[in-house]
Amino acid sequence: MRIAIDAMGGDNAPFEIVKGVNIAAEREKDTEIILIGDEKQIADCFSQLGVTQPQNVTTIHTDVVVTMEDDPMVVMKEKNNCSMAIGLKLLKDGGTDAFISAGSTGALHAASTLIVRKIKGIRRSAIASIMPFDRPILLLDSGANPTVTEDILNQWAIVGSAYVSEVLGVENPKVGLLNNGTEEHKGTPTMQAAHQLLKENKYINFVGNVESREIPNSPCDVLITDGFTGNIALKLAEGMGTFMFSTLKSLFTTNVKTKLSYLLVKDQLKGLKKLFSSSSYGGAPLLGLSKPVIKAHGSCTADNISSAVTQAISYSKSNIIEKVSQSVQ
């Protein structure tokens, strides 16, 4: 098993990436991890960590990096030797089994579609993100495709179900359609048409429309939506979580009494924080592609990267891509 990682992508690169790889390499002795990025900077990170580069970690050097300001559509032409492009080409050519990047989502999605290509028959690849809470929900698309058709939504139900059953181990996952009401006639014409296709789709376990109010109660395992709505929902849930924890923090630091209160409930609050965090699930897989590509969060930490390596391994070992190929033919 060989997993490549973009060492230069994301807000905390390369340090947190290298640190995460170091944790993962220690755990996954049989996996070769390839760090793609500035050799010297990567070496400096290992020095900073006070460790020698693990035997199962290799480096491919490049000093070209995609920034958040680069236009996703032109970046691959002008920067075809950047860390992201090298990683995707390596994956395409069979040199690795999966690729992870915390770089620009738009660039990663556009470049993956161009270089790695979609599964034959799949019309659009989607970014699938975990919404945590009591039981995780895979939300797709969470941002790559603002406008879609009912056929695309229907295909995503298949790729999402395959991922959730193979990687998260959920048997016969429940698929919901994010909508502004539970009744069949609700939503935009596209959502109404998608509802009918999903109802007739024999490869999935469709449970109907899901209202956003229900999301924290985990009414389904896979939640289908267009990339515009998905992005609004994902970021709002994140923003609400952040707001809540910062408000709780200021609440507990009001005075001596509240500070004492905090000490008495500290352990439980840690559990609460976990309920609102998706980081243990790794990154967001780009589903519908012919090979595993994972988008790590732009502000990911070493632990997230380490989880993403585990996720990439189980994605590579799974039958997701074959399963989807057969269903869409």
Strand 174-178 versus strand 205-210 pairing type: parallel
Residues 5-44 that bind a second copy (CB under 8 A): none
Binding of residue 254 to a second copy (CB under 8 A): yes
Closest to a second copy by CB, 37 vs 241, is 241
Q: Decide if residue 203 touches a second copy (CB under 8 A).
A: no
Give me the torsion for CA of 243, 245, 250, 255, rounded to 10°. Answer: 150
**Does the protein bind a second copy through residue 247 (CB under 8 A)?**
yes
Report the nearest approach of a second copy to the CB of residue 178 (Å): 7
Minimum distance from CB of 153 to a second copy (Å)?
A: 14
Minimum distance, C-beta of residue 151 to a second copy, in the bound complex (Å): 18
Is the Cβ of residue 205 or residue 212 nearer to a second copy in the bound state?
212
Does residue 265 interact with a second copy by CB under 8 A?
yes
Q: Which of 14, 103, 187, 292 binds a second copy (CB under 8 A)?
A: 187
Q: Which is nearer to a second copy, 121 or 239 (CB)?
A: 239
What's the min distance (Å) between Cβ of 207 and a second copy?
A: 17
Is residue 248 a contact residue for a second copy (CB under 8 A)? yes
Token pair listed for 96: 């690795």
β-strand partners of 289:
118
Q: Which of residues 209-238 bind a second copy (CB under 8 A)?
A: 211-217, 227-229, 231-233, 235-238
Asked if 249 is part of the footprint of a second copy (rule: CB under 8 A), the reply reads no
Closest CB to a second copy among residues 170, 232: 232
Smallest distance, Å, CB 285 to a second copy? 19
Q: Which two tokens stand for residue 238?
A: 């994140």
Question: Which residue lies nearer to a second copy by CB, 72 or 95?
Answer: 72
- List residues binding a second copy (CB under 8 A): 133, 143, 146-147, 178, 180-181, 187-189, 191, 211-217, 227-229, 231-233, 235-244, 247-248, 251-252, 254, 257-258, 260-265, 268-269, 271-272, 275
